[in-house]
Amino acid sequence: KGEPDGSSFMSSGGGSGSSLDDDVWFVPELAPGRSQTTLPTILVDGPYNAPMESFFEYHANIIVAAGIGITPYIAALEQVLEQCGSNIPVRTTQTTRDELLPQRIYLVWVFRDIELLCLMLPVLHRLRADARARNIVVPCLYVTGALAAEHESTTSDVFGRPMVRLANGIRMSQGRPPLARMVSYMAGKHPNSRVGVFCCAPRKMTAIVRSSVHNANAAVAHQGTGMEMRAECFSM
């Protein structure tokens, strides 16, 4: 389910029953020796919302994803790589052009099993290998499940969470991210800017992000920063 809510519509072009099921499953009586030559027509329409539509309109973006909720953002990050390769400039507070890169993209991804990392490994490696993309995208990966002994924490992230470095060079923090502190901290880095917050997570986490954005908006309004949130919820 997206926010704002998309709409869906389903109708049947055949039959005249009293309900959708009657329309879809209605089989007319046929004369002996005749076969049915037409089937009911089913039309499916919507939903219409496109939460990533405005991704490149902001000076900075905060992505908050849980588990497979990272999927909608992979394509956006790949587009960032393409634009970096095409030398598309970053958006400044003075520019109004559409085709520009955000100054910063904070990628907050929370997942339970480290195996899920394989979803993002190709993109993460490409982001790290590209000098421009590396200065734009800030990965903040959080694993909530148990880790093997070889992944023991050796340091902490900026928010005090234990951090590990994998053999492939990927760094990630352990535990759940302090979302309220993170959103406030990230918004404060971008005065006089529009900050987009894109969330694809379960309802509970989405509610925490929404509350954090609301509070951060009030805290950074004096510096000319405005935050806007786009969310998609799913059940776990």
In degrees, rounded to 5, the angle at the alpha carbon of residue 177 between the alpha carbons of residues 173 and 181 is 125
Q: Average pLDDT in the 33-42 region?
A: 67
Omega prior to 51 cis, within 30 of 0: no
Q: Given strand 162-165, what is the order of strands in its sheet?
A: 2-3, 226-234, 194-202, 60-66, 104-111, 137-143, 171-174, 162-165, 155-156
Q: How confident is the model at residue 232 (pLDDT cuts 50, 70, 90)?
A: confident
Average pLDDT over residues 50-69: 89
pLDDT, residue 143, reads: 94
Give the residue from 173, 200, 202, 190 showing the smallest Cα distance to 227: 190
Give CA angle at 195 (228, 236), nearest 5°.
60
**Has this prediction a pTM greater than 0.85?**
no
What number is the average pLDDT over the span 176-195?
95
**Percent of the chain's residues with pLDDT above 90:** 55
Residue 4 has pLDDT above 70, yes or no: no
Q: Where are the beta strands (DSSP E) in the chain?
A: 2-3, 9-12, 42-45, 60-66, 104-111, 137-143, 155-156, 162-165, 171-174, 194-202, 226-234
Mean pLDDT across 231-235: 79
* 45's tokens: 């329409």
Q: Looking at the predicted structure, is the pLDDT value of residue 20 above 50?
A: no
pLDDT over 50 at 1, yes or no: no
**pLDDT at position 84 over 60:** yes
For residue 138, give both structure tokens: 């800030």
Judge contact between 60 and 105, C-beta under 8 A: yes
What value does the mean pLDDT take over residues 47-55? 68
In the block, residue with structure tokens 């999927």 = 71
Give the dihedral sign, CA 98/91/123/210. Answer: negative
Average pLDDT, integer, range 163-190: 92
Cis peptide before 102 (omega within 30 of 0): no
Q: What pLDDT is stored for residue 48 in this prediction? A: 54
The residues facing 61 across adjacent strands are 105, 196
- Averaged pLDDT of the chain: 82
Q: Work out the average pLDDT over 49-56.
A: 75
DSSP type of residue 48:
-
